C-alpha cells in the first residue's frame, strides 16, 4: 500500500510503499486486547501489602480467662476480628505480570499498525528534526492538526526535536525499539518517520 510522505511544514515529500504484512492486516480486537493487558499487567506495581496475624505487634498473652466471662474464647489480640489485629488473606507483594509469547507480541504490534492505517490515522513524515525551539514545533504540529499524536522515529531520536517537543501537550516521541501496542492505540494519530518505517519493517519481519 502506498502513502504520501509529508514534511513537518506540511509540504509533500513523495510517497512510500508500506509492507502489507505490517500495515494491511485486518485488525483483530482480541489480539490487541491480550497484548495491551499483558503490557498493563507488567507495568502494575504490585507493592500493596497488609500485615497478617503473625506480623502485627501484640503480646501473645491470653487476653482473658477461658471460662466464666460469658464471651467467646480468645487467645490473642492479634486475631483478625479485633481492631488492630492481623488482616486475613489480604494483599501481599507480588507481580501481576504474566507471560506472552514473543511471536504473539510481534503480531499484536502488526495489528496495531494495521488498525491505525485502516482508520486513516497513520501519517508518514520525511524526518523528525528541529532546532530545539518549542514554539516553532508547536506551531507546525497545530497546523498539521495533531492533537494527540505519537511520533516513532528510527533507531535514535533527534536531540533537538526531543528537546523542542517536551512541553507540547499530547505529543509523544519514541525510537523504533520503544514502539508498543498500548502507546500506539492510546493516541489519535500515529506519525512515522521514513527511518521509523524502515526500522519497524526490519524489526517485525
Each residue's pLDDT tens digit, 165-203: 998 999 999 999 999 999 999 999 999 999 999 999 999
Supply the pLDDT for residue 12.
87
Mean pLDDT of the residues in the chain: 93
Residues 34, 112 contacting (CB under 8 angstroms): no
d(CA 139, CA 157): 20
d(CA 111, CA 190): 13
Sign of the alpha-carbon dihedral angle for 27, 185, 125, 128: negative
The tens digit of pLDDT for each residue in 19-58 reads 999 999 999 999 999 999 999 999 999 999 999 999 999 8
pLDDT at 69 over 80: yes
pLDDT at 9 over 90: no
Can you state the angle between helices 102-118 and 29-43, rounded to 10 degrees?
Answer: 120
Mean pLDDT of 151-171: 92
d(CA 184, CA 113): 8
Supply the pLDDT for residue 11.
87
pLDDT at 95 over 90: yes
d(CA 166, CA 150): 13
Amino acid at each position: 500500500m502506498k502513502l504520501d510522505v509529508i514534511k513537518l511544514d506540511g509540504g509533500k515529500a513523495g510517497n512510500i510503499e508500506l509492507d502489507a504484512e505490517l500495515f494491511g492486516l485486518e485488525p483483530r480486537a482480541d489480539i490487541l486486547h491480550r497484548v495491551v493487558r499483558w503490557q498493563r499487567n507488567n507495568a502494575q506495581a504490585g507493592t500493596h501489602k497488609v500485615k497478617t496475624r503473625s506480623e502485627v505487634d501484640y503480646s501473645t498473652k491470653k487476653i482473658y480467662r477461658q471460662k466464666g466471662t460469658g464471651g467467646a474464647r480468645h487467645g490473642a489480640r492479634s486475631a483478625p476480628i479485633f481492631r488492630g489485629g492481623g488482616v486475613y488473606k489480604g494483599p501481599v507483594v507480588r507481580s501481576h505480570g504474566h507471560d506472552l509469547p514473543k511471536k504473539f507480541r510481534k503480531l499484536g504490534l502488526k495489528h496495531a499498525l494495521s488498525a491505525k492505517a485502516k482508520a486513516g490515522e497513520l501519517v508518514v513524515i520525511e524526518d523528525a528534526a528541529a532546532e530545539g525551539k518549542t514554539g516553532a514545533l508547536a506551531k507546525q504540529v497545530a497546523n498539521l492538526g495533531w492533537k494527540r499524536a505519537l511520533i516513532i522515529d528510527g533507531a535514535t531520536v533527534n536531540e533537538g526535536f526531543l528537546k523542542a517537543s517536551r512541553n507540547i501537550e499530547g505529543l509523544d516521541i519514541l525510537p523504533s525499539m520503544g514502539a508498543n501496542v498500548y502507546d500506539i492505540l492510546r493516541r489519535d494519530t500515529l506519525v512515522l518517520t521514513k527511518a521509523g518505517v524502515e526500522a519497524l519493517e526490519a524489526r517485525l519481519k
